[in-house]
Amino acid sequence: MTLYLETSRLTLRPFCENDIPTFTAYRSDPLVAQYQGWDAPYSASQARKLVQEMQ
């Protein structure tokens, strides 16, 4: 069973293939990565693997 939570300003749902380009860009941002546990740039193949693991 897949759960979704949606309000007028926010939607929470599982990752999907369509999220990969945006997720890759987010994780590749050096200003974000410096405070997180990953290195930038973050490749689309890394994002795809993470999305697949979370499904």
- For 30-39, the pLDDT digits (tens) are 999 899 988 8
Record the pTM. 0.74
Asked whether residue 11 carries a pLDDT value surpassing 90, the answer given is yes
Biggest distance spanned by C-alpha atoms of the chain:
36
Torsion angle defined by CA atoms of residues 47, 49, 50 and 51, in that order, rounded to the nearest 10 degrees: 80
16 Cβ contact list (under 8 Å, min separation 6): 51
